[in-house]
Amino acid sequence: MAGRGIFAEIMDGDVFKYYVHGQWIKSSSGKACPIMNPTTRKTQFKVQACTQKEVNKVMDIAKTAQKSWAKTPLWKRAELLHKAAAILKQHSAPIAECLVKEIAKPAKDSVTEVIRSGDLVSYCAEEGVRILGEGKFLVSDSFPGNERTKYCLTSKIPLGVVLAIPPFNYPVNLAVSKIAPALIAGNSIVLKPPTQGAVAVLHMVHCFHLAGFPEGLINCVTGKGSEIGDFLTMHPGVNCISFTGGDTGIAISKKAGMIPLQMELGGKDACIVLEDADLDLAAANIVKGGFSYSGQRCTAVKVALVMESIANTLVKKINDRVAKLTVGPPENDSDITPVISESSANYIEGLVMDAKEKGATFCQEYRREGNLIWPLLLDNVRPDMRIAWEEPFGPVLPVIRINSVEEGINHCNASNFGLQGCVFTRDINKAMLVSDAMETGTVQINSAPARGPDHFPFQGLKDSGIGSQGITNSINLMTKVKTTVINLPMPSYTMG
Ligand code: NAP
């Protein structure tokens, strides 16, 4: 049960506390933010609504803690991360239970998210000691006009305080994918979890607390992003922002100061299916990619661009699989569970109704009960429909029939997004040409888009992001290069 056993100290009555300076405390605001259970649509948990004054204090504490953490040997930082990873994995059950209640993630997937997060933290510790243990040595006479009179040593130093803001759909995994690289690189953390998902994140933070990190190094403030978000992201004490979410990220990047930004934003991931594709493989991946976690994934297949000559056969194969998807509560491990909120369900419904008015073919009847939307494949979608471009973040998948590969590539590239894409074909040469032409951060050949394994680079082009993630890239992004130049006297002798 949430907030029980070793997690008892993170609660005060029925409200979860926030975490600062190694302690769980109540906000002086006296206010709590409710967390709605997407399935019951009733308040499941409450978290503290932190004040601006509390954020100021947290920033000061994080700044002080970072100074000594930066001097802590790398191997010691790694040791603590390994410890936190083990505690996190050991307590995957209660954390997963929070995910089920807060974000309606199917039970098995919730456990997988926590275990994967533990693995990410361990990998990060190992990768960190390797890549941060290395520097560069340059000599001056490689540049014209210079003698061999200067030696340049480079190393990587931390940035300072990293502000980490993950989204609701992978609150634990996308929190640790920011926390672990920041910590191994010698930074401190101010974490602002998504409101839906905050309680799972607070449990995860407690695992780091139990691992024994220095006080003040990891801090977690709670509250609605719409209320404290701007104050946090524009705070002068922040030295780097690592954000994952939707359009909010574009607004943040316009307001943030002169600090490194890591932005993982939305996507309209296109799946191009060519005439020579293995259609069973394509159908299986389109259904898994489009409907896992009810389509609430940045890397979900969000539009299938299918060659007209094979479209009837492929659509039938997709529909056969959609018919087998189970629909219901996350506790039952249903494939399709309620979407995160009523406003999200309304938004999805708006896209569906727009497609209906404009003549899309409904392969299933549209059905919704509360936040639960039954999986829906829309065939014969045209570019004048909103669903051809917008991210539904729900279990609705549009199929656009195309007459040439170029038409598919042009549709993909006309999007403001550029996260991932995929192509199905048996011809590797064609696949490589399509991959080269698609303006997305990653292209998967013969598989649905996906994040991970977590050490693979992961990045979005255009409105899909800034910077590249993945463990190694995140560690590098959260450091700066520092150089020390040793100036030698001019040689007073000649060789030879
Ligand atoms: P969101 O609404 O943008 O929220 C993301 C985070 O930002 C939440 O923690 C939210 O807190 C916070 N926030 C809200 N307003 C803020 C503000 N003014 N300043 C600072 N923070 C603020 O996104 P979401 O609905 O949680 O997640 C879905 C989106 O994330 C989709 O677009 C999806 O594609 C994208 N996503 C991208 C990736 C990727 O790697 N590219 C991965 C996963 C998801 P509150 O919850 O308190 O509002």
Query: How far apart, in whole angstroms, are the C-alpha atoms of residue 244 and residue 386?
Result: 24
- Rounded Cα gap, residues 72 and 214, in angstroms: 10
Cβ of 244 closer than 6 Å to ligand 1, yes or no, is: yes
Nearest CA to ligand 1 atom 6: 167
**What one-character-per-residue DSSP string does 249-302 give?**
HHHHHHH--SS-EEEE-----EEEE-TTS-HHHHHHHHHHHHHGGGG-STTS--
Domain assignment present for residue 48? The answer is yes
Count how many residues are written for the chain.
496
DSSP E strands, 282-371 = 303-307, 361-362, 368-369
Q: Is the CB of 449 under 6 A from ligand 1?
A: no
Residue 496 has pLDDT above 80, yes or no: no
Q: Show which residues are catalytic.
A: 264
How far is the C-alpha of 425 from the C-alpha of 464, rounded, in Å?
A: 26
| DSSP element (H, E) containing 15 | strand 15-16
Q: What is the average per-residue pLDDT within 400-429?
A: 98
**Mean pLDDT, rounded, of the chain:** 97
Instruction: Quote the longest CA-to-CA distance of the chain.
Output: 88
Q: Summarize the confidence of residues 437-441 as an average pLDDT.
A: 98
In a domain, 317, yes or no: yes
Cα(266) to centroid(ligand 1), Å: 9
Q: Does ligand 1 come within 6 angstroms of the Cβ of 426?
A: no
In a domain, 450, yes or no: no
Q: How far apart are the first and last CA of the chain?
A: 79
The torsion angles phi and psi of 167, rounded to 5 degrees, stand at -95, 180
Q: Are residues 275 and 307 in the same domain?
A: yes
pLDDT tens-place string over residues 51-61: 999 999 999 99
Distance between Cα 265 and ligand 1 center (Å): 8
Nearest CA residue ID for atom 39, ligand 1:
264
- pLDDT band at residue 495 under the 50/70/90 scheme: low
User: Mean pLDDT across the stretch 453-471?
Assistant: 97
Regarding whether 289 and 260 lie in a shared domain, the answer is: no
Q: How many CA atoms lie within 13 A of 205 on its CB side?
A: 35
Which of helix, strand or coil describes residue 333?
A: coil
428, 306: one domain: yes
Residue 416 maps to a domain: yes
In this structure, the answer to whether residues 228 and 278 fall within a common structural domain is no
Cα 439 → chain centroid = 20
Q: Are residues 230 and 336 in the same domain?
A: no
Q: Is residue 103 in contact with ligand 1, taking CB distance under 6 Å?
A: no
pLDDT at 490: 78
**Tokens 């361990």, residue located:** 122
**Pair 90, 128 in one domain:** yes
pLDDT over 70 for what percent of the chain? Answer: 99
pLDDT at 447 over 80: yes
Question: Domain tally for the chain?
Answer: 2
pLDDT digits (tens, 9 = 90+) for 368-385: 999 999 999 999 999 999
Instruction: For ligand 1, say whether the CB of 195 is within 6 Å of any of its atoms.
Output: yes
Compute how many other C-beta atoms are within 10 angstroms of the C-beta atom of residue 495. 4
**b/e per residue, 387-406, with b = 16+ CB within 10 A?**
bbbbbbbbbbbbbbbbeebe
The range of the structural domain enclosing residue 407 comes to 270-445
Q: Considering only CA atoms, which residue is closest to atom 40 of ligand 1?
A: 264
Residue 243 belongs to some domain of the structure: yes
Residue nearest to atom 15 of ligand 1 (CA): 225
Q: What is the CATH number of the domain that holds 178?
A: 3.40.605.10
For residue 494, the model assigns a pLDDT of 55
Helix (H, G, I), strand (E, B) or coil at 411: helix
Give the count of beta carbons closer than 10 Å to the beta carbon of residue 341.
Answer: 16
Pocket probe for ligand 1: among 168, 253, 440, the residue whose CB has the most ligand atoms within 8 Å is: 168
Residue 315 Cβ inside 6 Å of ligand 1? The answer reads: no
Q: Are residues 114 and 244 in the same domain?
A: yes
**234 with 322, same domain?**
no
Please indicate, yes or no, whether residues 40 and 189 belong to a single structural domain of this protein. Answer: yes
- Model confidence pLDDT, tens digit, residues 213-253: 999 999 999 999 999 999 999 999 999 999 999 999 999 99
What CATH code is carried by the domain that includes residue 302? 3.40.309.10
Are 294 and 174 found together in one domain? no
CA dist 50 and 44 (Å) reads: 19
Give the global pTM. Answer: 0.97
Q: Is the predicted pLDDT of residue 452 greater than 90, yes or no?
A: no
SS3 assignment, position 29: coil
Q: Whose CA is nearest to atom 18 of ligand 1?
A: 229
Residue 488 lies in a domain: no
> Which of 188, 211, 182, 232 is CA-nearest to residue 67?
188
In a domain, 122, yes or no: yes
Q: What is the DSSP string of 203-243?
A: HHHHHHHHHTPPTTSEEE--S-HHHHHHHHHT-TT-SEEEE
Any domain includes 494:
no
Query: Is pLDDT above 60 for 472?
Result: yes
Interatomic CA distance for residues 441 and 420, integer angstroms: 6
Same domain, 200 and 292: no
Number of helices (H) and strands (E) in the chain: give both, helices first: 14, 26
The arithmetic mean of pLDDT across residues 171-189, rounded, is 98
The residues that bridge with 30 in the sheet, in sequence order, are none
Helix, strand, coil share (%) of the chain residues, nearest 5: 40, 20, 35
**361, β-bridge pairs:** 379
Residues 365 and 227 in one domain: no
- Check whether 148 has a pLDDT greater than 90: yes
CA 463 – CA 250 distance, rounded (Å): 7
pLDDT exceeds cutoff 90 at 491: no
Average pLDDT, integer, range 13-28: 98
191 CA from centroid of ligand 1 (Å): 13
Query: Residue 493 pLDDT > 70, yes or no?
Result: no
